[in-house]
């Protein structure tokens, strides 16, 4: 009798223990809970020839950037591939074979075939969905999620995928509603908390965003959730809390997320880290590239480049520029070989003190930022924040007003934009609009949870008190 998984798809194992462990390990990965790799190890201990369990372990290690573990699992899968009796499993074997050969495009092509032909294949759908984020193909992510939901209407993973991709495509209300529906079905999925938190942050509902991410962290201290908490606190001027999350050791934040947080604090909050900290981050980056350079995403390579430049290692920073530039043009690289590399060049110009040059580099990417992959819109917002700050430093009053107003249409609590309007109206000598902007900054800042000690809030209150 042919064994099947919980979605009714055939699997080549005769061990009920192996199948149960496989299901548990896959479930942990899909819900962003710990122990997935160890549970899959138990599956292959029960049945060493369970090819699909080896494949799934390879995918998870791949996404974790653990090249050695991924390659070893892929080799184990191909070694027992003759036992695979189903076309779907054979496609998985083709994918992991491409993976160990260093051909991710072929791996994604095979996984895409699986997701199209077998929309209930949860691991293929998830990995292909993640690649849609890398490429900035949010429409593609919506299509994949909807096709899987047609096959399994109440599956929380597919609901969360659809909610996230709707939000990333600008349909915030619809995306939040879908993700909240998924969370109601599975209130212990960090993956779903993540999508809900994204939707709240995108609309400027920082109290709910913080509560959502904090609830997720109370279930399990997942590194990316901690980064979101740190990022939200940085946006709200709570620099000390940001640094506390940054310094987390249980678990430690990935090096590229730690770089991004320090860069945000330095450029946008005026709180620089010491040179030794930047040198240490650059050293960590060197080790990552020495061991697993080809396994890092464009997003990771970008932030390693920033760390090298900030630490004064211009040779390695230039190598990161060239690495991005050599990537495939257009959607396959998420446009990082063109637009993304210009963002890195712009940040390098900031470090050199060439603010005009930084604006020239970054402008085309900012105009088309929504088309870029490599990360979510909320992860890419730092580039819009920095771009507006550059124009403020260059005294481009009208451009600052334009950028701030655009941002506030989607997020009426975006503190930096409110503060930028107050600055611009003051610089332009428009006293009534200056006072109105300060009033909005105080009201919106209090609603959002802006730090009472944030300089922009202190300054706005002083203006209003003087006006009275």
Q: 340: which DSSP letter?
A: I
Q: What is the chain's pLDDT, residue by residue, as a tens digit (468 residues)?
A: 579 999 999 999 999 999 999 999 999 999 999 999 999 999 999 999 999 999 999 999 998 888 899 999 999 999 999 988 899 999 999 999 999 998 999 999 999 999 999 999 999 999 999 999 999 999 999 999 999 999 999 999 999 999 999 999 999 999 999 999 999 999 999 999 999 999 999 999 999 999 999 999 999 999 999 999 999 999 999 999 999 999 999 999 999 999 999 999 999 999 989 999 999 999 999 999 998 888 888 999 999 999 999 999 999 999 999 999 999 999 999 999 999 999 999 999 999 999 999 999 999 999 999 899 988 999 999 999 999 999 999 999 999 999 999 999 999 999 999 999 999 999 999 999 999 999 999 999 999 999 999 999 999 999 999 865
CB hemisphere CA count around 333 (13 angstroms): 19
pLDDT of residue 67: 87
Tell me: the pLDDT tens digits for 411-462? 999 999 999 999 999 999 999 999 999 999 999 999 999 999 999 999 999 9
Q: How does DSSP assign 172-219, residue by residue?
A: HHHHHHHHHHHHHH-TT-HHHHHHHHHHHHHTT-HHHHHHHHHHHHHH
φ, ψ at 77 (rounded to 5°): -65, -50
pLDDT at residue 59, as a whole number: 96
Cross-strand bridge partners of residue 10? 4
Handedness of CA 303, 307, 309, 310 (dihedral sign): positive
- Would you kindly state where each structural domain of the chain is located, as residue ranges? 1-135, 254-394, 397-467
Taking only the tens place, the pLDDT of each residue in 355-383 is 999 999 999 999 999 899 988 999 999 99
Selection from 29, 44, 32 nearest residue 74 by Cα: 44
Q: Alpha-carbon distance 169 to 163, whole Å?
A: 10
Q: Are 332 and 364 in contact (CB under 8 A)?
A: no
Equal CATH topology for 1-135 and 397-467: yes
Strands 10-11 and 3-4: antiparallel
Please answer whether residues 264 and 228 qualify as being in contact, where contact means their C-beta atoms are separated by less than 8 angstroms.
Answer: no
> Would you say 195 and 133 are in contact if contact means Cβ atoms under 8 Å apart?
no
Write the CATH number of the domain with boundaries 397-467: 1.25.40
Q: How far apart are CA 128 and CA 286, in angstroms?
A: 29
Q: Helix, strand or coil for residue 243? A: helix
Q: Is the backbone of residue 357 left (phi > 0), alpha (psi -120 to 50) or beta?
A: alpha
Length of the chain: 468
With contact defined as beta carbons under 8 Å apart, do 236 and 415 qualify?
A: yes
Task: Dig out the tokens for 123 from the structure.
Answer: 């691991």
Single out the residue of 181, 263, 252 nearest to residue 221, CA to CA.
252
CATH number of 1-135: 1.25.40.10
Place of tokens 């190890």: 41
Cβ-contact 439, 197 below 8 angstroms: no
Instruction: Give residue for tokens 């909610």.
Output: 163
pLDDT for 292: 84
Q: Mean pLDDT over all residues of the chain?
A: 95
If phi over 0 gives left and psi between -120 and 50 gives alpha, with beta otherwise, what is residue 47? beta
Q: In this structure, are residues 126 and 157 in contact, taking their beta carbons and an 8 Å threshold?
A: yes
Architecture field, domain 254-394: Alpha Horseshoe (1.25)
């Amino acid at each position: 009798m042919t064994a099947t998984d919980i979605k009714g798809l055939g699997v080549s194992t005769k061990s009920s223990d192996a199948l149960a462990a496989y299901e548990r390990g896959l479930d942990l990965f899909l819900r962003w809970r710990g122990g997935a790799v160890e549970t899959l190890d138990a599956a292959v201990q029960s049945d060493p020839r369970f090819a699909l369990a080896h494949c799934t372990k390879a995918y998870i290690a791949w996404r974790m950037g653990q090249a050695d573990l991924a390659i070893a699992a892929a080799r184990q899968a191909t070694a027992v591939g003759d036992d695979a009796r189903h076309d779907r499993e054979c496609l998985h074997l083709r994918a992991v074979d491409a993976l160990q050969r260093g051909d991710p495009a072929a791996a994604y092509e095979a996984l895409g075939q699986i997701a199209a032909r077998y929309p209930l294949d949860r691991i293929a759908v998830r990995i292909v969905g993640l690649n849609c984020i890398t490429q900035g193909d949010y429409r593609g992510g919506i299509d994949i999620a909807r096709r899987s939901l047609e096959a399994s209407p109440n599956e929380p993973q597919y609901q969360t995928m659809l909610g996230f991709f709707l939000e990333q495509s600008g349909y915030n209300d619809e995306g939040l509603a879908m993700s909240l529906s998924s969370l109601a079905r599975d209130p212990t999925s960090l993956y779903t908390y993540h999508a809900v938190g994204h939707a709240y942050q995108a609309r400027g509902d920082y109290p709910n965003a913080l509560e959502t991410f904090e609830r997720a962290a109370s279930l399990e201290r997942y590194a990316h959730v901690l980064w979101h908490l740190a990022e939200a606190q940085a946006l709200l001027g709570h620099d000390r809390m940001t640094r506390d999350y940054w310094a987390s050791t249980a678990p430690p934040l990935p090096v590229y997320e730690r770089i991004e947080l320090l860069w945000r604090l330095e450029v946008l909050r005026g709180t620089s880290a010491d040179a030794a900290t930047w040198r240490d981050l650059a050293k960590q980056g060197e080790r990552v590239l020495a061991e697993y350079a080809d396994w890092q995403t464009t997003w990771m390579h970008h932030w390693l480049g920033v760390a090298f430049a900030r630490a004064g290692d211009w040779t390695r920073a230039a190598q990161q520029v060239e690495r991005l530039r050599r990537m495939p043009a257009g959607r396959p690289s998420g446009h990082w070989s063109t637009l993304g590399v210009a963002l890195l060049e712009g940040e390098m110009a900031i470090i050199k003190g060439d603010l005009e040059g930084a604006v020239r580099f970054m402008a085309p990417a900012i105009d088309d930022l929504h088309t870029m992959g490599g990360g979510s819109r909320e992860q890419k917002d730092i580039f819009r924040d920095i771009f507006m700050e550059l124009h403020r430093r260059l005294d481009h009053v009208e451009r600052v007003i334009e950028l701030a107003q655009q941002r506030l249409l989607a997020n009426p609590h975006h503190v930096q934009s409110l503060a930028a309007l107050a600055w611009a109206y003051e610089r332009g000598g428009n006293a009534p609009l200056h006072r109105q902007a300060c009033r909005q900054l105080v009201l919106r800042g209090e609603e959002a949870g802006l730090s009472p000690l944030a300089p922009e809030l202190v300054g706005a209150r002083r203006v209003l008190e003087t006006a009275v």
